[in-house]
Amino acid sequence: MTQVEFPPNTPHEDDKTQLVSEHTIHPQAWKWYDYFTFNVDHKVIGIQYLVTAFVFYLIGGLMAVAMRAELATPDADLLDPNLYNAFMTNHGTIMIFLWIVPSAIGGFGNYLVPLMVGARDMAFPKLNAIAFWLNPPAGALILGSFFFGGSQSGWTAYPPLSLVTANTAQSMWILAIVLVGTSSILGSVNFVITILKMKVPSMRWDQVPLFCWATLATAILALLSTPVLAAGLVLLLFDINFGTSFFKPDAGGNVVIYQHLFWFYSHPAVYLMILPIFGIMSEVIPVHARKPIFGYKAIAYSSVAICVVGLFVWVHHMFTSGTPGWMRMFFTISTLIVAVPTGVKIFGWVATLWGGKIRFTSAMLFAIGLLSMFVMGGLSGVTMGTAPFDVHVHDTYYVVAHFHYVLFGGSVFGIYAGIYHWFPKMTGRMMNETWGRIHFVLTFIGTNLTFLPMHELGLQGMPRRVAMYDPQFISLNQICTVGSFILAASVIPFTINVIWSWIAGQKAGDNPWQALTLEWTTSSPPIVENWEVLPVVTHGPYDYGIDNHSAVPPSGATEVSA
Amino acid sequence: MAIATSNAEHHAEHSEHQDLRVLGLLTFLASESLMFGGFFAAYLFFRGITEVWPPENTEVELLLPTINTIILVSSSFVIHFGDAAIKRNDVKGMQRWYTITAIMGAVFLLGQVVEYLTLGYGMTTNVFSNCFYLMTGFHGLHVFIGLLLILGVLWRSRRPGHYSATKHVGIEMAEIYWHFVDIIWIVLFSLLYILTLF
């Protein structure tokens, strides 16, 4: 491939825009204040997503800690039960819609996808900025809803409960979710087109990094499922505010149709939250195990398989909603089938670790921690995917334990791993490994201490979403509460580590992990157009230990120090 | 914003990849059609669990919507003539066809309003009327947006040299959106009107 010389970025003659300063004409690196503007550079947007999402993570985490403190005793003595419900609802909403989805898809996806496929930016930079800037208003609506009592119907907002509690807050909640959903759709359009059409010409489909495969599957899934949630929420909004009766059984409506519409999005949503994490795992593990990834094609295609099968499992959330027998059987089977591609990935990663020269960096610790915890969560998911067992544990703490194992032990661990892994690329500085290990140990212990006892609680029949419970559950609940305090404490070393490293960490250089994917061929942080000269792909993304490959920028590229 | 503008302009003129805006719009519309899919699914669900559908006293009329349908479907052909015209570098012809399309779209919307006023029942009467007004209303909103796009194209075409045989992505996108609105209407018409005959 001939190398494309990139024309210098000079303002057009007819450009009437008054340029702010010299550095906007041809910036080599973004200044701190650029992160507070409607910037269209994918790297800026990625970091905006990550930081915003992290702020919401802290808010949602505080809600969780308040709830666990409340649950330390059987009585509702700390929080007003309505406030508990509002915390419960908004903890779920914030953690899903404003933390995991924006950070995993929006943050890492935006930052890494163009760098990994050798593009100078996303396909639609302005659209990208719009997609990000829909998030802060959504967060403001969610937080503002607390002034109106907070939405109290759980993150699923099932009618009729959502029709009778805190209607103003519920409407704000709906608008917030629609905003986030719009953001998700616009972002996904960008990802699909970027991955399909913006690959550097020398990159074949079997050289596309697995993170991009995962992001592609995620984006397709988001495109297919998110609008359906919007439809369901519009119906709910009309029911609350405009006197329609879609979900009012006494006027001919039906509440189960809401559940169908809701879960048609919200089950795929859990794959939206885990597929990018699978991608991060597929990037982190080979690099730190110094081995080619085991079963590249299997892992790539299993992402697509999860995307396809994931669209046909939503009714397993509704086994107790009076669904007919054939439906239970069909969706039990499809739920068990979706575990197969997931298992393919897990075995691929374990086989990659097998016999590798593993470097136990913080990123790798989190990745291995994820492996163990995600398997736990996945197995409890398989048990609940079978209708007979689900009828027994539905709406108990067993469910809470399961999805916290996959979402915290899976998604959040994956985001942590991703941050430790790509922080040098994003900021040009290394994170402190010692603090990273302290963070990992605290998080790992905290997670297991918090969520493991919940399995037992659920099997004994403690219902979820309640502020008061039977005194027989007190001892296990107190273990959970202690664990949640450890989890809360675990975020402190991480936050300090990030801020400190960003300011004064050790300089990272272009490729501190000796990785082979394209994002490591440019400077850290990457220059504004990513490369002076577009890189040429000469080897696969995971050819570690083969032929002594080294990832070097193409000749002629100028090193730019951060 | 200055930064964004200067960079966006710069990105928009990247010569390194082809114009992907049409593909992006198609992807978005595929997604958008699924929102209507959600409404259709809810409608069919309610139709399945209700004994008399539509319930008595909330029947739909057929004449006006049929005329409306004919207008909207034919406007799809009209807008395509406009697209063909600009591909022959005929800006005047494009403007003519697009103006006719805009008028047809406006007539369609007007027909909807007339239909709403003459039906004799409102949105909150029963579940059928809920579905009817919500689905036609949302479709009407999309028609309105399509109308704005067409008017935007006409507004921009006043500038000489803005559109030509080699530069007409905006025109193409307005056309695609209009076809989308049309296709959704055909499905909606089948469900809301024709199905009530059976």
With beta carbons under 8 A apart, name residues in chain A contacting B138: 234
Closest-CA distance of chain B to residue A21, Å: 9
Which of A18, A32, A126 is the best mutation test for B, with the most CBs of B within 10 A?
A: A126
Q: Which of B28, B37, B127 sits opposite A245 (nearest CB)?
A: B127
With beta carbons under 8 A apart, name residues in chain B contacting A131: none
Query: In the numeric block, which tokens belong to residue B85?
Result: 């015209």
Closest-CA distance of chain B to residue A247, Å: 9
With beta carbons under 8 A apart, name residues in chain A contacting B46: 246, 252-254, 257
Q: Which has the closest alpha carbon to B137: B115, B159, B161?
A: B115
Could you tell me the end-to-end alpha-carbon distance of chain B, in angstroms, rounded to an integer? 57
With beta carbons under 8 A apart, name residues in chain B contacting A235: 39, 42, 134
pLDDT digits (tens, 9 = 90+) for B83-95: 999 999 999 999 9
* pTM of the model as a whole: 0.90
With beta carbons under 8 A apart, name residues in chain A contacting B173: none
Write B138-142 long-range contacts (CB < 8 A, 24+).
Answer: B138/A234, B138/B36, B138/B39, B139/B36, B139/B181, B139/B184, B139/B185, B139/B188, B140/B109, B140/B112, B142/B180, B142/B181, B142/B184
Which of A25, A193, A233 is the best mutation test for B, with the most CBs of B within 10 A?
A: A193
Are the beta carbons of B27 and A193 separated by less than 8 Å?
yes
pLDDT digits (tens, 9 = 90+) for B25-34: 999 999 999 9
Residues of chain A with pLDDT under 70: 1-28, 547-562
With beta carbons under 8 A apart, name residues in chain A contacting B11: 40, 120-121, 125
pLDDT score at B56: 84
A-B C-beta contacts closer than 8 Å: 151
- Nearest-10 crossing angle of helices B127-157, B91-119: 160
Are the beta carbons of B2 and A20 separated by less than 8 Å?
yes
With beta carbons under 8 A apart, name residues in chain B contacting A125: 7-8, 11
pLDDT score at B17: 53
Taking CA atoms, what residue in B is nearest to A22? B3
Neighbour tally for B181: CB within 10 Å = 26
Q: Is B75 helix (H, G, I), strand (E, B) or coil?
A: helix
Q: Which has the closest alpha carbon to A169: A148, A184, A196?
A: A148
Which of B1, B11, B26 is the best mutation test for A, with the most CBs of A within 10 A?
A: B11
- Mean pLDDT, rounded, for B71-92: 94
Contact criterion met (CB below 8 Å) for A356 and A298? no
Is residue B74 very low, low, confident or very high in pLDDT (cuts 50, 70, 90)? very high
With beta carbons under 8 A apart, name residues in chain B contacting A185: 28, 31
CB burial of A276-290 (b: ≥16 within 10 Å; e: otherwise) equals: bbbbbbbbbbbbbbe
- The rounded distance, in Å, linking the Cα atoms of A217 and A341 is 13
Q: Which H or E run contains A439?
A: helix A433-460
Whether the ω angle into residue A27 lies within 30 degrees of 0, i.e. cis, is no
Closest-CA distance of chain B to residue A200, Å: 10
With beta carbons under 8 A apart, name residues in chain B contacting A127: 24
Are the beta carbons of A197 and B20 separated by less than 8 Å?
yes
With beta carbons under 8 A apart, name residues in chain B contacting A236: none
**How far apart, in Å, are the Cα atoms of B18 and each of A123, A200, B10?**
10, 13, 14
pLDDT digits (tens, 9 = 90+) for B43-60: 999 999 988 888 888 888
pLDDT score at A23: 43
Taking CA atoms, what residue in B is nearest to A5? B16
Whether the ω angle into residue B54 lies within 30 degrees of 0, i.e. cis, is yes
- The rounded distance, in Å, linking the Cα atoms of B152 and B146 is 10
Q: Is A30 helix (H, G, I), strand (E, B) or coil?
A: coil
Query: In the numeric block, which tokens belong to residue A168?
Result: 């103003």
Whether the ω angle into residue A160 lies within 30 degrees of 0, i.e. cis, is yes
pLDDT score at B13: 40
Are the beta carbons of A261 and B42 separated by less than 8 Å?
yes
Angle value at C-alpha A231, between B196 and B130, nearest 5 degrees: 40
Are the beta carbons of B130 and A246 separated by less than 8 Å?
yes
pLDDT digits (tens, 9 = 90+) for B148-188: 999 999 999 999 888 988 888 999 999 999 999 999 999 99
Closest-CA distance of chain A to residue B162, Å: 15
Closest-CA distance of chain B to residue A557, Å: 18
Alpha-carbon torsion (A543, A546, A548, A554), positive or negative: negative
Residues of chain B above pLDDT 90, percent: 71
pLDDT score at A28: 66
Which residue type sits at A220? I
CB burial of A145-180 (b: ≥16 within 10 Å; e: otherwise) equals: bbebbbbbbbbbbbbbebbebbbebbbbbbbbbbbb
The dihedral formed by the CA atoms of B84, B88, B92 and B98, expressed in degrees to the nearest 10 = 10
Tokens 């659920």 map to which residue? A458
Q: Residues near A79 by Cβ (< 8 Å), separated by ≥ 6? A: A66, A67, A70, A87, A467
Q: Which of A38, A254, A257 sits opposite B4 (nearest CB)?
A: A38
**How far apart, in Å, are the Cα atoms of A51 and each of A98, A106, A375, A507, B54?**
11, 11, 29, 21, 51
pLDDT score at B18: 67
